[in-house]
Structure 1
Amino acid sequence: MSASAPPESVSPPRRGVRPRRILGGLVAAWVLYVAGFEVAVRSGVAERILNRRPHKLAVAFDSAHSWFPFWATASGIEARGQAPRLRWRAHVDQASGWLVPWRLASRRLRLAGVKAAGVEFSLLREPLQAPFPEANAPESQPEASPSLPAPAPAESSQPPSAVPGERALSALAPAPAAPLARAAFDLDLALPVIAPLAPPPPGPAVAPRWTVEIAGYDATGVREIWMDRFRITTTAKATGALTLHLPTREIELLGTALEFRDSTLHAGDLILGEALAGKGDLAVARYPYQEDRGLATLAHVTAAVQVSGRVSGGRFWFASLPPQAWLQLDDDTAEISGEIRLVEGALQPGTKVEFRQDDYAARAFEFHVTGDVLGSFEVSSDEHGSKAEGRVNLRQFGIRRSAAEQPDIVGDGLVVVATTRDLQLSELASLEASAKLDLGQARVPDLATLSGLMPPSAGVALVGGSGRAEGAFDLELPALAGRGAIQIALDDVQVRYGELDLHGRMQIDLALATASLPEGRFDLAGTSIALTEFQSPQLAGDEPPVAAPKAPGGSTGWWARIELPEGEIDLPPGSAASGHLRVRLRDSVPFIGLFETRRNLPRWVERLLTVRDLQAESGFAYAGETFTLDEFSMPFKKATIRARVRFGAEHKTGILLVGWRKLGLGVRFDDERRRMKLLGARNWYAAQGLDLSTSESEVDPAGSFSEEALASVSFSGLAAEPLSLADSELAELDADDGIEAAPAPFEIVPGSIARGDLDGDGREEAAVLLARSGVGEGPTLFLAALEDRNGRPENVATLPLGARPAVGRLRIEGGRIVFDPPATSAAESATVPEPREPLEGEEPPPVAPPEAVSPPVPAPELWRLSGKELLAVPTPASPQTEPTATP
């Protein structure tokens, strides 16, 4: 029997072969994936994939790796994109993250676990027009943008790139900076440098847009964020999430935590804030980023941020808003600290920011304000909702005009308070708020600082004075309409007026109203100025003789009250004021003094100055250094004072008319030249203008020495005091006119005015006969000599001639005054011989006719003018009569 064969041995199955194969396959796949990724990056395939829409996006990087599928890391990343109305640029030193692949099918690029370091971001918006037409506009051509940089030069001439991503990086070459136009901000503010991409291809867009979603990011080392002209350089970190909805062109920023320090806020190259530090939470609700721009984006922001540092309110104002020529804020920085709470753009209760700045300086129109600022901004709540209040307290302040070296007003506690309800930051441009300015404890240190407001030619100087000032001004936004009042009470006011030193009290009640503060036009209706207790040592004892009603307030001395029923003022650059004023005066002495000193006025005008408690009206205009009173009118009883005056920087002109019944006096001054008009003064006044006259005064002798002109001359030698015919007019005043009666009148002998040269100076003088009523033999005659002084006759000598039964003729010959007495009639002077008595029985002899005998011819009387005297000149004896002695 054969032996059976041994059974075949069966080896047991080996464990781990399949896992190793799987692992080997995975490793091989991983190697292939990594190698393929590296090849794609180095060969430029990845670049072409990322930049397949070069008119929308350009991406470049220094290096990129992917050690796991759907995960990548890159360094030196540069990205640039553009939309029809904006461009953006981003730089990241190092970034990594995961790609969620199953969202790609729905055209949704979702990144998760993104970590980034060394981040810079810039955004530039086109404010006027799109740099390129919309993508769906057929056959469109790119158009030049007025504010964005021009497209970069073509790259066709560049050598081939050997470094991954270099061609894309070359497209990001910087373009020249694009400054804002000076017409917009009066200062060049640099914008981010973002070169434009290629123009979009013609024809409508066919591929639907993607949605980019960053489910979570952690950014550290954020160095710069540049949004249009605002740029932040910082050391910051942020964590959060971001979604960019390209189909609807919307963006959404989910809960983000921020921390920042050593931050500087710029507007171009202008530093708005520095040493900024803080932390907070930020979220931006989904909104259309192409429609909502600027402040409108704040309506979607919710935040709670704590911040501290230094901020310049003046620079921020300047960079954020269009230029305001009337307002300039201090550009130095203030210390700030506080917390801001925001819900969808609305500031919430709990918001509070405090700030402080010493040596603050600002300008409103031509007024410079300095002081130490302590301010706050706070949001609180009450039964009506949230209330935002901003408060600025200016301590140890001074207010000075641009033309003044010293402050016009100083004080402590000037406060500006602004309040509004439900403050929405996105609506700041149309903010409805109310503001109130209170001067606090203010005073005028020296009134002399305002002397520069007086026209130099007026002869009025404010020498000194001080007092209190108080007032408030209310303002409504956004119209910036306002209304307020300022009261200034000044003691010991010192004024130099011509040759007079005056001192007294002044009260100024200034009413202000404006429909738009930036326009600089204010309504002055309701303004008043009261002058009381003014006295002058030069006028001591020169009080008018008639008692006057008590001044307003019972003050003594000279007083006046000026009211403006209408008026307005325009502040710089074209400072001007105009309106209508009403004046109440104790008397008209100071006003008449503008035209002549009192001692040179006709006596009847001088007497009218004693009338008290006058009222006047006038138009006025002030521009630059020129002040004009237009048709100043001061009527009282049967008299009127009218005037037009202009005071300028170098010259002054004025026309005055004083009328009393039929009497009239006109006075004109051109600088220091004075001219008077007595004949036809009213018509002359109506024809005068205020343009400076430098021509020689044309004197009409017939007018200067007319009877009308002589009516205003005061003649000496008629009585104890000089008399004029105007005294006769004033003697007829009613009892309630308040002027005592004048001495007895006299007459100018009709036709007795003679003209000629009496002193050999080549100019005409005059002589006239005056008659005062007498008794017995007839009126008493007086001979008066006159000279012309700038069109005004003045009596230089008067000689009594005694009582005369009849008046002769007056003439001037050879420099002598010749008086021809009247000849005696022949009937009165003829002699008839007495007839002889006939004897008894004798017939009377015939009577012979009487012989005519010629009457004697009276010798003329002669006088010559010697200085201020009339001296008799001997005359030769007449052949027909004995010489007559000179009285």
Structure 2
Amino acid sequence: MNSAQWNSQLRSYWNRLPPNVRPWLRRIVLGLLILYATYFLLGNLFLNTPLGPWVANRKPEKFQIQWGPGITLWPGRVTVWDVDMKGQVGRTRWSVQAGKAKGSVAILPLLHKEVRVPDVEAFDVTGGADLLEVRKPPPQPRPGGWVLRFDRIHTESIRSGHFAGLELQGPGSAEVGFYKQLRGGALELMPSTAHFDKARLAYKGDTMLHEARIDARFAIARHTRAQAPGVRKLLMTDAELSLDGLSAAVKTVTDKQGKVTISTVPGQGKAHAKLAFARGSLKPGSELRWHMPVTGTDIAGKPREGALDFMLDVDRDIVFKAKAPAQEGKPLFLDADLRLRGTDIPLQDFKSVVPRASGHVVGRWEFSSLRWLGNLFNAPWLALDGSGAVDADVQVVNGKIAAGSRFGIPEVDAVAHVMGSRIQGRARAAGRLDAGPNDELLPFLELVMDRFNIAAEDAPNRPYVEGQNLRLDLQTISGLERAKLRQPGAVKQVRDALRAHLVFADARVPDLRAYNRYLPVAQMRFEGGAGTVSGDVVLDGAGTVGTGVMRVKGNGTQIHFAGISLRGNVDVNTQLRRADLTGHNFNIDGTRVTLNNMSFTEPGGESRSGWWARIELQRARMDWDKPVTVNGRANIAMKDVGFLLALFSRKRDYPKWVFKMIDSGQAQVSANVQWRDDVLVLDRVEASNQRYDLKARLRLKGKSRVGSLYANWGVLSCAVAVNNGQRDFHMIKAKQWYESQPNLLR
């Protein structure tokens, strides 16, 4: 039917109407036309003038909306272009943009302060949210708030979205509905869905997932802020996620300082997820599979390849597995298998998940710094520094690392500060956790330096010892043992929460003169020769020697002692046992000094060779502080007393019979010894054998030499007083004169 026929038909209907009806019908039609024209004019003026945004943005600090052109052709039906909405709730600032949106508004509910939007369709949608530093305080709940009810917001053209650095790029579609009462009223997210094909997921610009298909369903039950504040909204949430896509690869680059940089690069990994969340718990049957290739370079710049696999399964518990297959020469390896009791997800206190975890973690990873391992043993005198790989086999029971856990370090820079010395070397280490009383864990570390050097703390760049195969064992002691140390009669100050055992043998000392820093050099010093040093000592938690042995040996060693130069073989075996807790005082009972094949020149120029002595200290104490101080009693076996006589005078000054004593065989000698700063005192020296007796006392300070000597051979005797360069011989009543002289030490 054409327009002429329509017009003819309408005129026919009009003519049939009673004459009195026609005027009223004209008025009704005219009124409707005027009403529609008024709505059309006012509605479109509202949409296309600043009046609309002014009305909509009454509280811009909470919500703002702007749009471009708009049109409404029928009451309740609106179409707008270039929509931009944004707002802030708490710390979350959100925004949504749409190229076009059209929908309907129910008119009658407006009379009851309800904005009901049965349907909205949006096009070309983007949006996202960011977390701010400052939280906006929520409004106090008040009655009478308007209700916003959007039953269905639908879009088939999502372009992208982001949240706190995480970005999702479409194409996608979504259908969302929500209910919200203003003035702090209830909120509800109605059952909603989202779907993406060929999506790209990135974090801070790095692609995590691409070519992904994502399907999601979610809903939040109606609640007020008081019922579920903040993250507790998840206790009102139901959600499902289905995901399949290609994963990016992980790239790790280690620089020369050991710093590891991690990023993502395009790759052909795989991701699959089927997760269901219900009011704070994962549903049984949920699963996650993520395979990520790993590429990059190690600290030497060599390429490395590998892969990471993450798996999650939910039944009555949550089972998490992660694997990175081991490859020869590659630093990355991981095999983790952990089970969390139950399916609840901790929402506020994530640490509460720890007691629920049991399983094991085996792996290897390269750290930019291994200093944290030294801190594990609370040993400030030991530093493990630099980069390095760590092999670990960690057992976890009820959220705690369990006994039997182990770790190994193939290579690490190690420095130990022990008694004023700095021991440094490239080391390998192995550690474990032993079981102690009351389920206490006792860490143990075994560290081996294949090569090392030792330097003084105040001269770290001038090592004086070079060695191989140094071993250091560290063992923490149990709380039960520490409690015993605090009992009456035990030590009052406990430094033995940690015990360490340091052992090395025959380390080379290129120049024994390095030890002169510890000696009273005016009276005793090394003048040349090389040697070796060995140590076997037990240290406490402060790095102080508790007990042990230090041994220095030298062949062809040149020694200056009390003005006489000696040359020969020296073996000093020092027995150490700490005498106090705070200082460096030691009991050195049992210390032995052996002199073999010694040659020396007497003050008169006479040379001797083949001399020897065996010295053992009794009731001896030593202060390790520089210079070393020694007090004690020495028992000595020596080839003859020629060296003792040379300390007091030249050979030609003595009566001739005195030197026949030298040829009368070896002597047994005892003496009190004090060595402090630049002062060396020999007191109550008593030497004898079956033929003769010799007694002496001597004090050396700088170039000063003061003392007295008494010799007896059969019926012959003499005494000599030494006062620097002056010597006074007493041939009559020699013994009485000697005994009248005061002792030099108390």
TM-score scaled by structure 2? 0.46
**Structure (1 or 2) with the greater strand fraction:** 2
Which structure is larger by alpha-carbon Rg, 1 or 2?
Answer: 1
TM-score scaled by structure 1? 0.40
